[in-house]
Amino acid sequence: MNGAAVPAVLVFAGLDPGGGAGLAADVLAIAAQGAHALPVATALTVQDNNRVHAVQPVDAGFVLAQARALVDTVDIRAVKLGIPGSRANARAIAGLLRELRARDPALPVVLDPVLASGHGDALAEDDPLEIVGELLALATIALPNEPEACAIGEFPCEHLLLTGGHGERRFVENRWSRHGRLVRRWRWPRLPGGFHGSGCTLAASLAGRLALGESMEQALGAAQAYCHDALARAFAIAPGQRIPRRFFHPPI
């Protein structure tokens, strides 16, 4: 692959100084697929591997400036959306997505519709449902967990992967639907303990696989297998939630 272009994924997410979630997770998960992340910071956070203590959104104009410097020069093959940090940021990102879609109607947009941290800590100044609502219709696929899906209710995007990691059942069941109709289920053995950034890992790796040109079914299967392996190999940096080991072997 010497000299060959590497597919680029434009990423909007917050900065986790603990390196477990957000931009740090996205960069590693996308790189592990063989793609390249273009990380645009939407928020600065104060957090560790267990709790989010404070969130400071980046100015919407600056978020847009970060992204425009990239989209004007780089061939964007996929977009991954994490926390926008504010409704103003979500609106700015939505406007840019419409421009990108005008250039490439088939551009895959992967939305991780995070409403709060795993412990329920706020991740934005504004109503999280209103923030997510700005982006849902522009997403190709959203990957909510069961509590997020219940809170959001309606998903206008073409594809949906409903993840079952928040339950207590022996197996984690993830359900893929298209236009509201179930297409396929995947079952994964539930791993013990808690993990910081598992949703970021799954969504980012999916965006990376789509950037490589895989079909939605291929990308979903590969991203879930990668994420499960990363969680199985997770490591500790402090007591509590472990960090997925995202970069440990060549792409699946």
Residue 216 three-state SS: helix
Mean pLDDT of 220-244: 95
Chain CA centroid to CA 127, Å: 19
pLDDT band (50, 70, 90) for residue 6? very high
pLDDT of residue 121: 46
Tokens of 15: 């900065």
Tokens 């991203």 identify what position?
Answer: 223
Q: Which of 87, 99, 108 is nearest to 42 (CA)?
A: 87
Q: What percent of the chain shows pLDDT beyond 90?
A: 77
pLDDT of residue 31: 96
Report yes or no: 80 and 110 within 8 Å, Cβ to Cβ. yes
Residue 251 pLDDT > 60: no
pLDDT of residue 118: 52
* Mean of pLDDT over the chain: 91
Mean pLDDT of 220-224: 98
Which residues sit opposite 182 in a β-bridge?
Answer: 177
Q: CA-to-CA distance for 50 and 46, rounded, in angstroms?
A: 11
pLDDT band (50, 70, 90) for residue 1? very low
Residue 76: which H helix or E strand, with range? Answer: strand 76-81
Q: CA-to-CA distance for 199 and 197, rounded, in angstroms?
A: 6
Q: How many CB atoms lie within 10 A of CB 139?
A: 24
Structure pTM?
0.92
Backbone angles phi, psi at 32, to 5 degrees: -65, -20
Per residue in 96-145, pLDDT (tens digit) is 999 999 999 999 999 999 775 455 444 556 678 888 989 999 999 999 99
